[in-house]
Amino acid sequence: MAVSEKQLYYLTIHEAQKLIQTRALSPVELTRAVLDRIAAVDGKLHAYINLMSDAAMQEARDAEAEIARGNWRGPMHGIPVAVKDQLDVEGAPARVRQFTQGVGDATAVRKLREAGAVLLGKLHMSSMPGPELPLPRNPWNTEHITGGSSTGSGASVAAGLCLGSLGEDTAGSIRNPSAFCGLAGLKATYGRVSRYGLAPLSWSLDHCGPMARVVEDTAHMLNAIAGHDPKDPTSSTVPVADYTSALREDVKGLVIGVPRDYINECASRTESLVLKLVGTAIDEFKSLGARVEEVKIPTLNLATIANAVIYYNEFWAAHKSDAAGVLKTGAAQRRARIYLGLLTNSADYIQAQRVRSRVRAEFAEVFKKVDCLALPCQTGPAPLVKDVGPIDTLFKHVVPEYNGPFNLAGLPTLVIPCGFSENNLPIALQLVGKPFDEVTVLRAGYTYQQHMKWYERRPEIQ
């Protein structure tokens, strides 16, 4: 579909920034269109918990005036975005901070503002305290979940309620909703994006990253938010690449590894359609000039449970001081994490860290032979809301699955749509790269995306 034929709220960041830079589109016009879209459909989706309409319109006017003076800051200037409630935003109290002190703007939020983005507000997350807020719904079919815990982030981008969002991923929470909502979602290498101002779930597993319509948009957002932050002791000093350099249709000579043994390990819990569509996507890479090789990562079958043990222990440690309040008024998922943290001990934690070290070493060996890995992201399309309880979403993290291992190893991971189910729900492919080699996974994802064009489909919610 040509840009001129699209509703403004369905423009990608990549499309909108070109129009804004040439003054064919006003940030005020774009922001107003997105706010009108929120008013029209968010009553069905429940993505926003704190909509900052007046502030957003003022930021859009400021951006428009600045661009008119010839001071265009870059691709994010004048682009309406929103962030998961887990991130601090000045002037927008976070529900997840019910028992903890916020810091103003989180570093990733501050960097988006400095890049000129227009901040629309805070988005729902499935583990927020209290049962009073309705669960966000999937815009492809509102009877289905969005995936969590970046629930509002997934729904909002897919439905045109913002052009991009920031999510957080501890065991798949950027990739789950991106997969279920038909988005491109990027969990960058651990330490690549500052977590200062991000309410902790798990100190050594949390990743902040972009969720958007297309791969180009995640590259633009990552360019804005990546880099060392002295306020975050886990922040890396590895030099930051220009991630838009990955946006070229070329995978010739790229070696893509397929962990076939691990996919087979998960196959009994994975719908056949997912395996078929992901297999077809991998074959497309062959047709585009990549070489595909099967690889073995022997300890990968222990990685999910190791990730879960570390996750729940560190969650308990992070929330020990406010645990009594969480257990009284917190959402069921938050309460369950506290209990699971209490059920595992220091010996379990140490054993999980030993598994982590071994898995990392095995990945390092594999990445001497291949450039990236390709595998499913989810075991099926988005489940029905009525079929999923809060404990179900936690249980998936204690059996071998496709997300947790890459938090455990801290590897950059991109998900992109690779097809749809018979009832029009998105299915996703997952690409995993070497530490700090986001460029390669973005390049592979972009090439596949441009060839298959699944991103051109939009949910029909009105």
Residue 1: band (very low, low, confident or very high) from pLDDT cuts 50, 70, 90: very low
Examine the residue annotation and report whether 321 is marked as an active-site residue of this protein: no
Average pLDDT over residues 275-287: 98
Q: CB-based contacts of 69: which residues, under 8 Å, 6+ apart?
A: none
| Ramachandran quadrant class, 104 (left: phi over 0; alpha: psi -120 to 50; beta: rest) | left
Domain membership of residue 19 (yes or no) is yes
Domain membership of residue 461 (yes or no) is no
Do residues 88 and 194 touch, judged by C-beta distance below 8 A? no
Choosing from 127, 150, 153, 173, the catalytic residue is: 173
Domain membership of residue 290 (yes or no) is yes
| Ramachandran quadrant class, 91 (left: phi over 0; alpha: psi -120 to 50; beta: rest) | left
Choosing from 26, 84, 122, 187, the catalytic residue is: 84
Predicted TM-score (pTM) of the model is 0.95
Tokens in use for 120? 């629309």
Element holding 169 (H helix, E strand): strand 164-169
Q: What is the domain extent for residue 226? A: 3-456
Residue 2: predicted pLDDT = 41
Residues of the chain above pLDDT 70, percent: 94
Residue 15: band (very low, low, confident or very high) from pLDDT cuts 50, 70, 90: very high
Domain membership of residue 423 (yes or no) is yes
What sign does the dihedral 99-103-109-113 (CA atoms) show? positive
Among 74, 430, 89, CA closest to 243: 74
Higher pLDDT, 53 or 328: 53
| Model confidence at 130: pLDDT above 60 | no
Residue 93: predicted pLDDT = 73
Average pLDDT over residues 321-338: 74
Residue 101: predicted pLDDT = 67
Element holding 336 (H helix, E strand): helix 332-343
Examine the residue annotation and report whether 84 is marked as an active-site residue of this protein: yes
Do residues 145 and 346 touch, judged by C-beta distance below 8 A? no
pLDDT tens by residue, 32-77: 999 999 999 999 999 999 999 999 999 999 999 999 999 999 999 9
Tokens in use for 4? 């001129």
Instruction: Say whether 117 sits in a helix, a strand or coil.
Output: coil
> What CATH number does the domain containing 411 carry?
3.90.1300.10
Choosing from 26, 126, 149, 178, the catalytic residue is: 149
Instruction: Say whether 337 sits in a helix, a strand or coil.
Output: helix
Number of domains the chain contains: 1
Domain membership of residue 462 (yes or no) is no
Least confident of 275-284, 304-313, 389-398: 389-398
Average pLDDT over residues 107-124: 97
Element holding 33 (H helix, E strand): helix 27-45
* Backbone phi, psi, residue 419, to 5°: 150, -175
Residue 397: predicted pLDDT = 61
Do residues 58 and 35 touch, judged by C-beta distance below 8 A? no
Tokens in use for 398? 């204690």
Residue 293: predicted pLDDT = 98
Do residues 187 and 404 touch, judged by C-beta distance below 8 A? no
Domain membership of residue 378 (yes or no) is yes
Domain membership of residue 20 (yes or no) is yes
